[in-house]
Amino acid sequence: MTKVVIVGAGPTGATLALLLVKRGIAVTLIEAAKDSYRVFRGEGLMPSGLDAIAQMGLLPMLESVPHRQIDAWEFILGDRQLFRVDEPMGSNRPCTLVSQPPLLAALIAEAQLHPEFELISGVPVKDLLYNADRTSGVKLADGREISAALVIGTDGRNSVVRQRAGLELVKQPKSIDVLWFKLAAHPKFVADNVFYSILNNGSGFSVFHGAEDGKLHLAWVLSADDQTDRKHADWAETFASLSPLWMAEHFRNCADSIESPMRLSVVVGRCPRWYQPGIILLGDAAHPMSPVRAQGINMAFRDVIVAANHLVPLLKTEANYEDIDLVLSQIQAEREPEIIRAQQLQAQEAWKGEQLRKNGLLRLLMMQVSPFLGKKIQQFWVKGQYELRQGVTDVKLVV
State how far the Cα of 397 lies from the Cα of 47, in Å rounded to an integer.
16
* Domains annotated on the chain, with CATH: 2-37+100-172+268-351 (3.50.50.60), 176-265 (3.30.9)
What torsion do the CA atoms of 39, 45, 48, 50 make, to the nearest 10 degrees? 120
Q: Quick one: pLDDT at residue 43?
A: 85
DSSP result, 190-202: HHS-EEEEEEETT
Average pLDDT over residues 346-368: 88
Question: Bigger pLDDT: 366 or 58?
Answer: 58
Q: Quick one: pLDDT at residue 39?
A: 47
Of 203-212, 244-253, 352-361, the poorest mean pLDDT is in 352-361
DSSP result, 66-80: -EEE--EEEEEETTE
Q: How confident is the model at residue 319 (pLDDT cuts 50, 70, 90)?
A: confident
Q: Say if CB 358 and CB 63 are below 8 A apart.
A: no
How many helices (H) and strands (E) the chain has is answered by 11, 20
Task: Identify which of 217, 188, 211, 194 has the alpha carbon closest to the alpha carbon of residue 70.
Answer: 194
344 Cβ neighbours under 8 A, 6+ residues apart? none
Q: Quick one: pLDDT at residue 224?
A: 66
pLDDT tens digits for range 31-72: 999 876 554 567 899 999 999 999 999 999 999 999 999 999
Strand partners, 208: 217
State how far the Cα of 126 lies from the Cα of 142, in Å rounded to an integer.
9
The beta-strand segments (E) located in the chain are: 2-7, 27-31, 44-45, 67-69, 72-77, 80-86, 96-98, 117-121, 125-131, 134-140, 145-153, 170-171, 176-184, 194-200, 203-209, 215-223, 262-264, 269-270, 275-276, 279-281
Average pLDDT over residues 344-372: 88
State how far the Cα of 267 lies from the Cα of 286, in Å rounded to an integer.
12
Q: How confident is the model at residue 140 (pLDDT cuts 50, 70, 90)?
A: very high
